[in-house]
Amino acid sequence: MITVALPKGGLLEDSIRLSQAIGLDFSAFLDSSNRQLEIWDTTHTAKALLVRNYDVPVYVEYGQAQLGIVGYDILREKRPQVAHLVDLQFGRCRMSVAVKATSSYRTVLELPPHCRVASKFVQCASDYFKSLDLPVEIIPLYGSVELGPITGMSEAIVDLVATGRTLKDNNLVEIAQLFETTARLIAHPLSYRLNRDGLQDRIEQIRTATLALV
């Protein structure tokens, strides 16, 4: 029996659509009246856990789920000990640096040394600025990071951007892109190597279905 960790939020609907394409129906999670966090698929051959995107790799790394679907941004940030298997090609967005539209900064290298940068992606932000040899102070924020520059607490932010509408609505502009991110299929390393419960067959089914759905 295979357990899959599915992410709450924006990746869930496409994750369930992909699961359905390989014969696993977890659509009960889309029912707003359903409060279950663990369900069996309709054929009772696999089950799914509904968890925060940030927690998906934790459940997979510790073996409570053999497979998981999670954003690449989370994998870059948390660096979990999991097998990275398939780029699922949905949930596409970018990790970007943004500043107030009224500021004079239009490239990252124009930011002053030791300036403050707000982000929930502390590791990603830190790695990026170190690669530029630009010392900054990373301020961890886990709510609306856009408020950092708005309130003057930070000169810039590092955050995920999809359409850019939130930035525009808050008078912010992108000045650099760190990387693109999409949903990824991950697996518990030992389960993957030992092919427990026919795990590798399921993974190949997902690979094939991803190509068909793109």
- Structure confidence at residue 44 (pLDDT): 86
Instruction: Please give the Cα distance from 71 to 11 (Å, whole number).
Output: 8
Name every residue whose Cβ is closer than 8 Å to that of residue 169 and which is 6 or more positions away in sequence: none
Whichever domain contains 172, its CATH number is: 3.40.190.10
Which tokens go with 31? 């029912």
155, 175: one domain: yes
Instruction: Please give the Cα distance from 166 to 26 (Å, whole number).
Output: 31
97, 174: one domain: yes
60, 108: one domain: no
pTM of the model: 0.93
28, 134: one domain: no
87, 186: one domain: yes
22, 73: one domain: yes
Query: Which residues form the domain of 116?
Result: 93-179
pLDDT in tens, 193-205: 998 888 999 999 9
- Structure confidence at residue 39 (pLDDT): 93
Q: Which residues of the chain have pLDDT under 70?
A: 214
78, 126: one domain: no
8, 86: one domain: yes
32, 62: one domain: yes
83, 57: one domain: yes
107, 74: one domain: no
- Structure confidence at residue 103 (pLDDT): 94
Secondary structure string (H, E, C) spanning 104-154 = CCCCHHHCCCCEEEEECCHHHHHHHHHHCCCCEEEEECCCCCCHHHHHCCC
- Structure confidence at residue 42 (pLDDT): 84
- Structure confidence at residue 45 (pLDDT): 86
State the total domains in the chain.
Answer: 2
- Structure confidence at residue 51 (pLDDT): 97
In one-letter notation, the amino acid at residue 12 is L
pLDDT in tens, 150-206: 999 999 999 999 999 999 999 999 999 999 999 999 999 999 999 888 899 999 999
44, 147: one domain: no
